[in-house]
Structure 1
Amino acid sequence: MSELLVELFSEEIPASLQEPSIKRFEFMILNNFKEVGLNFTKSEVYWSPMRLTLCVEGLGLKSEDIEINKRGPRFDANSAAINGFANGLKVNKKDLIVEETEKGKFYFYKKLNKGIKSELVIEDAIKNIIVSFPWNKSMRWGSNNLKWIRPLHNILCVFGGKPIKFKIENIASDSLTYGHRYLAPKPLRILNKEDYKKKLLNAKVLVNPQERKDTILTLGKKLTKKIGLHFDPSDNLLEEVCNIVEYPFLFIGSFNEEYLSLPEKVLELTMIKQQKYFPLYDKNRSLSKKFLGVSNIPVENNLQIISGNERVLKARLSDARFFFDNDIRKGLDQLSENLKNIIFHRSLGSMEKKVTRITSIVSKYSESFNAKSELSLMAAKFCKADLCSELVYEMPELQGNIGSIYASAIKLPNEVSTAIKEQYSPLGPSDKCPSIAEAAVLSFSDKLDSLVGFIAMDMKATGSKDPFGLRRSCLGIIRILLEKNVRVSITDVINDSYDSYEKQNIKLKLSKSETQKYTAEFVYDRLRVFLKDKGLSQSAVQAIFAVSKFEDIVDDVSKINALSKFMEDPKGNDFLSILKRVRRILSIEEKKDNILITPKPIEALLEQKEEIVLYKSYVNYSNKTQLLLESEEYIKAMEMFSKIVLELENFFEKVKVNIDNEDIRKNRLRLLSMIRSSFLDFADFSLIEAENEGK
Structure 2
Amino acid sequence: MLTNTLLIELGTEELPPKLLKTLATTFYKQIKSQIDDCGLVYDDIKWYATPRRLAIKINALVEKQEDKEVEKRGPAINVAFDSHGNASKAALGWAKSNGITIEQADRLITDKGEWLLHKAIQPGQTVHELIPQIVSSAIAKLPIPKPMRWGSERTQFIRPVHTLTMLYGDQIIKGEILGVSSSNLTQGHRFHHEGAIVLTNANTYEQELKDAYVQVDYQLRQSLIVSEIEKAAEKINGVALIDDDLLEEVTSLVEWPVVLIGSFDKNFLQVPAEPLIYSMKDHQKYFPVNDKQGNLLNQFIFVTNIESKDPQQVISGNEKVIRPRLADAEFFYKTDKKQTLESRLSSLESVLFQKELGTLKAKSERIALMSEYVAEKLNENKKQAYRAGLLSKTDLMSEMVLEFPQVQGTMGKYYAENDNEDIEVAQALEDQYRPRFAGDALPKANIGCAVAIADKVDTLVGIFGINQPPKGDKDPFALRRAAIGIIRIIIEKQLDLDIADLVSKSIESYGNKISNKETKQQVLDFVLARYKAHYQEQDIAIDVIQAVLENAPSAPLDFEKRIKAVSHFKTLAAAEALAAANKRVGNILAKFNGELYLAFDRNLIEDVAEIELADVFDSLNEKVTPLMGVKDYQAALTTLADIKQPIDKFFDNVMVMADDEKIKINRLTLLNQIRNSFLAIADISVLQN
CA drift of 1:353 comes to: 1.6
Provide the rounded CA distance (Å) in 1 between the counterparts of 2:186 and 2:131.
Answer: 19
Provide the rounded CA distance (Å) in 1 between the counterparts of 2:607 and 2:629.
Answer: 33
> Residues 47-66 of structure 1: CA distance to partner in whole angstroms, max 9, x if unpaired?
11112221122333234456
CA drift of 1:376 comes to: 0.8
CA drift of 1:642 comes to: 4.6
> Are 1:406 and 2:415 matched, yes or no?
yes
CA drift of 1:225 comes to: 2.9
Cα separation, partners in 2 of 1:31 and 1:666, compared to 1, 3 Å: same
Question: Which stretch of the first structure deviates more once superposed, 110-119 or 526-535?
Answer: 110-119
> Are 1:562 and 2:565 matched, yes or no?
yes
> Are 1:510 and 2:510 matched, yes or no?
no
Q: 2:370 aligns with which of 361, 369, 383?
A: 361
Question: Which stretch of the first structure deviates more once superposed, 620-629 or 128-137?
Answer: 128-137
Cα separation, partners in 2 of 1:246 and 1:601, compared to 1, 3 Å: closer
Q: 1:116 aligns with which of 120, 125, 137?
A: 125
Contact 2:344-2:397 at 8 Å conserved across structures: yes
> Residues 220-269 of structure 1: CA distance to partner in whole angstroms, max 9, x if unpaired?
33333333333352332222212211111222111011101010111111
> Residues 288-315 of structure 1: CA distance to partner in whole angstroms, max 9, x if unpaired?
1111121111245242211111011001
Cα separation, partners in 2 of 1:498 and 1:274, compared to 1, 3 Å: same
Contact 2:583-2:686 at 8 Å conserved across structures: no
Q: 1:488 aligns with which of 489, 497, 501?
A: 497
> Residues 336-380 of structure 1: CA distance to partner in whole angstroms, max 9, x if unpaired?
321122222222222112112212212222122333111111111
CA drift of 1:520 comes to: 1.4
Match of 2:389 in 1: 380
Partner SS state of residue 207, structure 1: coil
Provide the rounded CA distance (Å) in 2 between the counterparts of 1:407 and 1:156.
Answer: 60
Cα separation, partners in 2 of 1:342 and 1:67, compared to 1, 3 Å: farther
CA drift of 1:604 comes to: 5.1
Match of 1:82 in 2: none
Question: Which stretch of the first structure deviates more once superposed, 228-237 or 11-20?
Answer: 228-237
> Are 1:678 and 2:674 matched, yes or no?
yes
> Residues 422-445 of structure 1: CA distance to partner in whole angstroms, max 9, x if unpaired?
111112332222121111111111
> Are 1:635 and 2:631 matched, yes or no?
no
Cα separation, partners in 2 of 1:353 and 1:60, compared to 1, 3 Å: same
Q: 1:183 aligns with which of 180, 192, 209?
A: 192
Match of 1:9 in 2: 11
CA drift of 1:419 comes to: 0.9
Q: 2:149 aligns with which of 104, 118, 140?
A: 140
Match of 1:471 in 2: 480
CA drift of 1:623 comes to: 3.2
Cα separation, partners in 2 of 1:486 and 1:189, compared to 1, 3 Å: same
Partner SS state of residue 435, structure 1: coil
Q: 2:247 aligns with which of 238, 263, 267?
A: 238
Partner SS state of residue 430, structure 1: coil
Q: What amino acid is the match of 2:253? A: I
Question: Which stretch of the first structure deviates more once superposed, 482-491 or 41-50?
Answer: 482-491
Provide the rounded CA distance (Å) in 1 between the counterparts of 2:655 and 2:267.
Answer: 93
Match of 2:436 in 1: 427
Cα separation, partners in 2 of 1:197 and 1:618, compared to 1, 3 Å: closer
Provide the rounded CA distance (Å) in 2 between the counterparts of 1:387 and 1:109.
Answer: 76
Provide the rounded CA distance (Å) in 1 between the counterparts of 2:615 and 2:677.
Answer: 22
Q: What amino acid is the match of 2:530? A: R
Contact 1:37-1:65 at 8 Å conserved across structures: no
> Are 1:268 and 2:251 matched, yes or no?
no
Partner SS state of residue 297, structure 1: coil
Question: Which stretch of the first structure deviates more once superposed, 236-245 or 373-382?
Answer: 236-245
Match of 1:457 in 2: 466
Cα separation, partners in 2 of 1:599 and 1:641, compared to 1, 3 Å: farther
Match of 2:84 in 1: none
Instruction: Give 1:21-40 correspondences, 5 Å limit.
Output: 21-34=23-36, 36-40=38-42
Question: Which stretch of the first structure deviates more once superposed, 406-415 or 291-300?
Answer: 291-300
Match of 2:45 in 1: 43
> Are 1:445 and 2:454 matched, yes or no?
yes
Q: What amino acid is the match of 2:338? A: R
Stretches of structure 2 lacking an aligned partner (at least 5 in a row): 80-92
Contact 2:168-2:202 at 8 Å conserved across structures: no
Cα separation, partners in 2 of 1:203 and 1:672, compared to 1, 3 Å: same
Match of 1:340 in 2: 349
Match of 2:550 in 1: 546
Provide the rounded CA distance (Å) in 2 between the counterparts of 1:53 and 1:652.
Answer: 66
Q: 2:61 aligns with which of 51, 59, 62?
A: 59
Provide the rounded CA distance (Å) in 1 between the counterparts of 2:147 and 2:546.
Answer: 49
Provide the rounded CA distance (Å) in 2 between the counterparts of 1:617 and 1:120.
Answer: 75
Match of 2:86 in 1: none
Match of 2:83 in 1: none
Match of 1:535 in 2: 539
Cα separation, partners in 2 of 1:2 and 1:600, compared to 1, 3 Å: same
Question: Which stretch of the first structure deviates more once superposed, 450-459 or 643-652?
Answer: 643-652
Provide the rounded CA distance (Å) in 2 between the counterparts of 1:568 and 1:131.
Answer: 50
Q: What amino acid is the match of 2:256? A: Y
Contact 2:456-2:483 at 8 Å conserved across structures: yes
Cα separation, partners in 2 of 1:354 and 1:60, compared to 1, 3 Å: same
Provide the rounded CA distance (Å) in 2 between the counterparts of 1:110 and 1:352.
Answer: 79
Provide the rounded CA distance (Å) in 1 between the counterparts of 2:173 and 2:632.
Answer: 74
Provide the rounded CA distance (Å) in 2 between the counterparts of 1:497 and 1:75.
Answer: 75
Stretches of structure 1 lacking an aligned partner (at least 5 in a row): 78-90
Q: What amino acid is the match of 2:679? A: A
Partner SS state of residue 7, structure 1: strand
Match of 2:301 in 1: 292
Q: What amino acid is the match of 2:415? A: Y
Provide the rounded CA distance (Å) in 2 between the counterparts of 1:658 and 1:133.
Answer: 63
Q: What amino acid is the match of 2:326? A: L
Provide the rounded CA distance (Å) in 2 between the counterparts of 1:132 and 1:617.
Answer: 64
Cα separation, partners in 2 of 1:675 and 1:63, compared to 1, 3 Å: closer
Contact 1:131-1:146 at 8 Å conserved across structures: no
Q: What amino acid is the match of 2:599? A: K
Provide the rounded CA distance (Å) in 1 between the counterparts of 2:206 and 2:164.
Answer: 16
> Residues 98-135 of structure 1: CA distance to partner in whole angstroms, max 9, x if unpaired?
99976579999999764333223223444565577552
Contact 1:299-1:306 at 8 Å conserved across structures: no
Match of 1:397 in 2: 406
Question: Which stretch of the first structure deviates more once superposed, 104-113 or 40-49?
Answer: 104-113
Q: What amino acid is the match of 2:563? A: I
CA drift of 1:620 comes to: 4.3
Provide the rounded CA distance (Å) in 2 between the counterparts of 1:43 and 1:215.
Answer: 22
Partner SS state of residue 452, structure 1: helix
Provide the rounded CA distance (Å) in 2 between the counterparts of 1:587 and 1:142.
Answer: 74
Match of 1:85 in 2: none
Cα separation, partners in 2 of 1:153 and 1:671, compared to 1, 3 Å: closer
Provide the rounded CA distance (Å) in 2 between the counterparts of 1:688 and 1:554.
Answer: 19
Partner SS state of residue 259, structure 2: strand
Instruction: Give 1:251-266 correspondences, 5 Å limit.
Output: 251-266=260-275
Partner SS state of residue 143, structure 1: coil
CA drift of 1:605 comes to: 5.8
> Are 1:623 and 2:647 matched, yes or no?
no
Match of 1:86 in 2: none
Question: Which stretch of the first structure deviates more once superposed, 596-605 or 133-142?
Answer: 596-605
Cα separation, partners in 2 of 1:349 and 1:688, compared to 1, 3 Å: same
Contact 1:369-1:486 at 8 Å conserved across structures: yes
Contact 1:601-1:668 at 8 Å conserved across structures: no
Q: What amino acid is the match of 1:195? A: T
Contact 1:36-1:63 at 8 Å conserved across structures: yes
CA drift of 1:559 comes to: 2.5
Match of 2:22 in 1: 20
Match of 1:87 in 2: none
